[in-house]
Amino acid sequence: MTKAYISAFLAVAMLGAEHAAAATVVAAGNVNIEQPAVPGASSRRTKAGNTTFDAKYRKVYSLLKNDAALRGKIKSVAKDYGIDPIHIVGAIVGEHTYNVDAYDRLQTYYVKAVSYLSSRLSFSYDGEDIADLVKRPQFDGCSDKSSSYELWACREDVWNLSFRGKTVDGTSFPNDRLSATFFQPFYAGQTFGIGQLNPLTALQMSDEVNKVSGLPKLDARDPNAVYQTIMDPDMTLPYVAATLKTSIEAYKRIAGFDISGNPGLTATLYNVGNAEARAYTLKAENERRQAAGEPLKMPEENYYGWLVNDKLTELKALF
C-alpha cells in the first residue's frame, strides 16, 4: 500500500459517525503494490494481435503524444465537464492497452466510423428489437424516469431481474448483460472508437451530453446514429467525459469518497462499468465495517486502473 493510500485510509478510519456524510479525498496512487492479474479475455485479445501490453501502451501513448489536435480536444472536453483531462487519457490508454490496438493517426478513427455505417444496424435479439423489449409490462416502472441515465439504469435492473437467463413468454433469454444481448449488432464483445464506448453507455449519457455539449439526443431506435456518435472522435469524447464525471459523482454522493484525484480509480470504473451499483456495494461494506469497529475499505483499482496510476507521471506530462 502506498503512502498516499495509507494517509487516506487513516483519514477515513478516524471519521466519526457524525462526519459520515463528508466525502473523503482519495489521493493518486495504487492500493496494490503489484498489478492485479489481467483477466483471460484481455490476454487472449492481446495474443490474437501478436503484441504485448507494453507495446500496446507505447502505441496509444505515441498517438496521444504526437497528436496535438487530439490533446486539445481532450483538454477542451474535460473543461466542459469539470474533470481533469487525465481521466479521459486514462480511459483511452486503458482501453487501447488491454482491449484493442490504437490506430497510428486520429484520422483513421474517422475513416473507420464511415466504413462501419454502410449498412442498416439493429439493436435486437432473436428478432426482437430493443424498442419492443422495453414496451413489455415488466418495464412499466421505468416510464417515469426523468433522465436517460436513470431510464436505462432502470431498464438494466429490470432486465437482470426479469429476463436475464430466463424464459419469458416463450422466449429464452441468455444469462448475459443487456448491453451484450441487445447492443452488439456486429459481433460479441465489441466496443468502438477512441473511447471504446458501448452503445448502452452512450444511451445512458445522452441527456448529460446534450445538456453540456449540445449534441443531439440518442435514440435506441436509431442504432446508426448511436454508432456514428461512439465512433466519431469529435462526438465520442464528450460521452467519455460524461461517463467519467458520472462515476466520480456516484462515488462521492453514495460511497463518500472523492476519487477525482485518482485517475486509476476512474479508469477502473470506466472499464468495469456500473459505477453506482459498485458505490452502493462499497457503502454497504463500510457500514458493516463501521458497525463492527473495523477499518473502512478504500476504493481499489483493478489491473487496468493500476497501469494508469503507474504511468501517471508520463501521462500527465502530455499536458
Residues 6+ apart with CB under 8 A from 312: 28, 86, 263, 264
Please give the helix or strand (H or E) that residue 258 lies within, else none. Answer: strand 257-258
Q: For residue range 164-191, what is the model confidence (pLDDT) as tens digits?
A: 999 999 999 999 999 999 998 765 445 5
CA distance 221 to 278: 29
Match 494517509 to its residue by C-alpha cell: 7
68 or 51, higher pLDDT: 68
Mean pLDDT of the chain: 86
Q: For residue range 219-277, what is the model confidence (pLDDT) as tens digits?
A: 999 998 998 888 888 899 999 999 999 999 999 999 999 999 999 999 999 999 999 99
Dihedral angle at the C-alpha atoms of 97, 193, 238, 141, nearest 10 degrees? -100
Residues 6+ apart with CB under 8 A from 72: none
Range of the structural domain that residue 85 is part of: 3-105+235-316
Q: For residue range 102-161, what is the model confidence (pLDDT) as tens digits?
A: 555 555 655 565 565 666 788 999 999 999 999 999 999 999 999 999 999 999 999 999
Global pTM reads 0.85
**Is residue 224 a part of any domain in this protein?**
no
Mean pLDDT of 28-52: 72
CA distance 308 to 165: 35
**Is residue 214 a part of any domain in this protein?**
no
**Is residue 209 a part of any domain in this protein?**
no
For residue 292, CA distances in Å to 100, 256, 284 come to 44, 19, 12
**Is residue 289 a part of any domain in this protein?**
yes
Report whether 265 contacts 298 (CB < 8 A).
Answer: no
Mean pLDDT of 34-56: 69
Report whether 290 contacts 55 (CB < 8 A).
Answer: no
**Is residue 190 a part of any domain in this protein?**
no
**Is residue 264 a part of any domain in this protein?**
yes
Question: In the chain, what is the straight-line distance between the N-terminal and C-terminal CA atoms, in Å?
Answer: 28
Backbone angles phi, psi at 167, to 5 degrees: -105, 120
pLDDT of residue 120: 79
For the chain, the domain total comes to 1
**Is residue 130 a part of any domain in this protein?**
no
β-pairing verdict for 171-172 and 167-168: antiparallel
**Is residue 265 a part of any domain in this protein?**
yes
Q: How many CB atoms lie within 10 A of CB 288?
A: 11
